[in-house]
Chain A
């Protein structure tokens, strides 16, 4: 409210009528914008509250212990082998495996793409790749899944042993989906580098690659890592495209080409079939809670990286 007190000094106390109008106008504007911001906070609190209240009932109401849930490797929610067992380790493994692999595939490609746009051919390189990257970001995930299932899976089945379905297919689809995220963050970082940095390196007689690998990349490394973490966060949360190509067996697979599951794929598979309030359904909400928790970790990582970047 301090800014409002400063205002009359500028406006002049002689025009007090006008000042009143200003005051009302300002108050209205300020309140409106503040309500919008407050709504953001209400939204996030209610998301956390509702997902947590559902997700925690697995532990409090259904009596599953947290460690059995997170580190148990048997998933038998319907009790096909006796008592129901809720171990989600295979899904956590699947989620991490697919998103890490996807980041591993996408990162070098993205870094090359952004170097291409900023260092190699800054002119037409950017004109060519920028729209390509934006389009890749715009293609809906169901279309990625559809293409993955009709093209990628048969291809993998013919080339590698196994059924084509699995973590390999999932992470390949994901890598294309997160390419734009990493590329745009890396490109922003590269193009905001001070010109002098590069020029002094060239002046010392360094080749372009020497400049890139010894000067440019080390400088922008935290930003690129930020992009990779953001990409991984997206891969971790992606549901439909992965579910279509991963096979959904609730086990830790023996190879990259064997049917596996992720947290998101199990949720999409079972949510509609289970009755709300049943232990099986609660376990799915606990997985959603785990996804949410991972989001916090990813955001935290990004924050840490940005702090490093600032120094």
Chain B
């Protein structure tokens, strides 16, 4: 009965380690939330940070993180969809296609700091965009693009063949089939994937240190002219995101409550990531239902 005993012991260890991982996560999230939640209130979330006095908030940083996400998505989605569609529908097996696959793979495994430095050299210094949201968004696009391409390609490939053939039988052009037959079916998985990938934008700090900068100019939230330097939606202003802010106050914070702000900001960041995870699942489900139901009706 040695085999049975070994089996029991092995099972015990597998379960033990699996639960250990759960415990690590619970401990991590618990630690962050317990330390940070007490500090989160409305004024913390909306007021600007203070340099040396207590009571500063993370308002502009929170806005910057969200706005940077929007900018990144504006650049990433059209490019990622295009490249993904090419890979799924147009690319033929061959040297060129496998070369692109290699490019996507390499791009997705580049260390973020290398891409950040590249952004600093080319976009910030050579092209003269300076430390700005735009520079940050371009760099984040480089991160997200390979992911986006993969997500799109997989989503298109998983569409049943019959749907495509039905389109061909109707005499539709290939592009028409892609946009009006395949795309709606692939959309739920693309959206879910995109939202999950967006979580990375919130967390990224190393690359943004060198591209989006570590400072936030005075923002005037009544000024919505994108060209005005104090406007929050001006894409060419420097912007410190929440993750960068945590890094900064951890290292240089002069305010007496720097530790609490770091804890509070970490908690906000983790809650945002949690929310994004839940939202991704929810929206995927909703879209799936909506799109499949509408097909039955039509």
Contacts and interface: CB of A to CB of B under 8 A. Distances in A.
Given A33-B83, A142-B250, A264-B206, 4 more contacts: A25-B176, A136-B25, A146-B246, A295-B110
A242 to B, nearest CB: 10
Interface in B18-47: 18, 20-22, 24-25, 28-29, 31-32
B282 interface: no
A123 interface: no
Contacts of A47: 110, 114-115, 118, 142
User: Is the interface on chain A under 10, 10 to 19, 20 to 34, or 35 or more residues?
Assistant: 35 or more
Contact of A37 (B87, B105, B111, B112): B87
Interface in A23-68: 23, 25-26, 28-30, 32-37, 39-41, 43-44, 46-47, 50-51, 54
A207 B117 contact: no
Given A40-B104, A113-B17, A120-B15, A237 B277 contact: no
Contact of B111 (A44, A151, A209, A295): A295
B286 interface: no
Interface of A: 3, 7, 10-12, 15, 18, 21-23, 25-26, 28-30, 32-37, 39-41, 43-44, 46-47, 50-51, 54, 108-109, 112-113, 115-117, 120, 125, 128-129, 131-136, 138-143, 145-147, 149, 151, 176, 179, 206-210, 212-213, 230, 233-234, 236-240, 244, 264, 267-268, 271-272, 276, 285, 288, 291-292, 295-296, 298-299, 302-303
Contacts of A32: 82
Given A34-B90, A125-B18, A51 B83 contact: no
B100 A41 contact: yes
Contacts of A116: 14-15, 17-18
Nearest to B116: A239
Given A113-B17, A209-B11, A54 B121 contact: yes
Contact of B269 (A11, A140, A210, A276): A140
B95 interface: no
Contacts of A54: 121
Given A142-B247, A271-B117, A36 B86 contact: yes
